[in-house]
Amino acid sequence: MSGIVDHPSAQYPAWLGAAGKPLVPITVIVGPSGNGAKALALARAESGHVVYDKNDVITELSGMPWPQAPEFIRPALQRRNAFLASLATPAGVAGIRHVWLIEHSPEAWQRRFWSERLGAQILLVDPGRDRALVAAAAEGVEAKWVHRWYADAAKGAGRPAVAIAAAEPSNRGYDGRHRKMRDKQLAKQPLCQMCLEVGRSTPATVLDHIKPYRRPDKSIDHKLWGDPKNHRSLCEDCHNANGAQRARPEKPPGAGVDGRPLDPAHPWNKNRD
Ligand SMILES: [Zn+2]
């Protein structure tokens, strides 16, 4: 299953989106089997939200736990595609405010497909191969599917992007270690934690340090910088708002009157376009 195919049960149907984009927002959670995507979506879903997992359709059609009925994937895909297409019509979205779609989509073009055809936001939830294998085994999913996801991801991705829809230019000055920390944090908590506090589900794109890691003399406290307990996931808006708010009372030397650090190398400045 590679490529965009013109068929009612295609994994990536060529015709999808041709008649218009969905009238409600869609979040596509991608990642390997065993990543807990469905549990995450169910935990975040509010009233009027639909969590759509084609494995549930397989179970419904076959009457068996889905890993035992792989031959039902085609009819399940056909039904998923019809559902997605219907979201472009007022009748199709009656009573629906938001759709969470559970997919694997290991390759960059596959995630692009969802964002281009459905205007979807993409959340990659990647717990790491070892944890995925354990969780997949508990669900009765063969290890080969987890291995295949990582093989396809390695072959098909420029980098292990966390949120393709909000992908950052690669020249923002993050070093490799920051990117790794960020990817890890966002895989652990893919939604903005400040938005969650007020009941909003917003994909996070920024690794935020709860305690500022810059000392008053602007040197870096490496312990605070690298400590996962000092990390949280934020969306860009909350990160910018929070940075401005926080800078005022502390007013570190080297900050402007608005509290923003003057140092262009400071991460608050690097996060801005
Ligand atoms: Zn937020």
The Å distance, Cα 141 to ligand 1 centre, comes to: 34
Dihedral sign for Cα atoms in the order 249, 253, 257, 258 = negative
Mean pLDDT computed over 56-62: 90
The Å distance, Cα 209 to ligand 1 centre, comes to: 14
Mean pLDDT computed over 231-251: 70
Two tokens, residue 54? 């084609």
pLDDT for the residue 267:
57
Mean pLDDT computed over 162-191: 63
The Å distance, Cα 175 to ligand 1 centre, comes to: 24
The Å distance, Cα 161 to ligand 1 centre, comes to: 19
pLDDT for the residue 246:
54
The Å distance, Cα 200 to ligand 1 centre, comes to: 8
Report the distance separating Cα 263 and Cα 268, nearest Å: 9
87-121 pLDDT per residue, tens: 999 999 999 999 999 999 999 889 999 999 999 99
Mean pLDDT computed over 78-82: 94
Average pLDDT score, the chain: 81
Residue 95 zone, left/alpha/beta (φ > 0; ψ -120 to 50; rest): left
The Å distance, Cα 192 to ligand 1 centre, comes to: 5
The Å distance, Cα 235 to ligand 1 centre, comes to: 4
The Å distance, Cα 179 to ligand 1 centre, comes to: 19
Two tokens, residue 187? 């895989």
The Å distance, Cα 191 to ligand 1 centre, comes to: 8
pTM of the model: 0.58
Share of the chain above pLDDT 90, in %: 40
Cβ pair 126, 160 in contact under 8 A? yes
Residue 202 has pLDDT above 70, yes or no: yes
Two tokens, residue 20? 């218009």
Mean pLDDT computed over 238-245: 73
pLDDT for the residue 201:
82
The Å distance, Cα 195 to ligand 1 centre, comes to: 4
Q: Given the structure tokens 């055809």, which residue do they identify?
A: 117
114-164 pLDDT per residue, tens: 999 999 999 999 888 999 999 999 888 999 999 999 999 888 654 443 333
* 3-state SS class at 198: coil
The Å distance, Cα 241 to ligand 1 centre, comes to: 9
The Å distance, Cα 204 to ligand 1 centre, comes to: 7
Kindly list the protein residues that place their beta carbon closer than 5 angstroms to ligand 1, a single-atom ion: 192, 194-195, 202, 235, 238
Sequential DSSP letters for 83-149:
HHHHTTSTTTTTT-SEEEEE----SHHHHHHHHHHH--EEEE----HHHHHHHHHHTT--HHHHHHH
Q: How far is CA 3 from CA 30, 74, 80, in A?
A: 17, 16, 18
Two tokens, residue 208? 């935020």
Pairing of strands 231-234, 206-209: antiparallel
Residues 20-43, buried b or exposed e (16+ Cβ, 10 A)?
A: eebebebbbbbbbbbbbbbebbee
Q: Which CATH superfamily is domain 26-166 in?
A: P-loop containing nucleotide triphosphate hydrolases (3.40.50.300)
Amino acid code (one letter) for 272: R
pLDDT for the residue 70:
84
**Comparing C-alpha atoms, which of 120, 210, 102, 103 is closest to residue 166?**
120
Report the distance separating Cα 156 and Cα 106, nearest Å: 7
Beta strands in the chain (DSSP E): 26-30, 49-53, 98-102, 121-124, 206-209, 231-234
Mean pLDDT computed over 166-195: 70
The Å distance, Cα 121 to ligand 1 centre, comes to: 15
pLDDT for the residue 257:
44
Cβ pair 140, 67 in contact under 8 A? yes
The Å distance, Cα 78 to ligand 1 centre, comes to: 35
The Å distance, Cα 208 to ligand 1 centre, comes to: 11
pLDDT for the residue 217:
80
Q: How many residues does the chain have?
A: 273
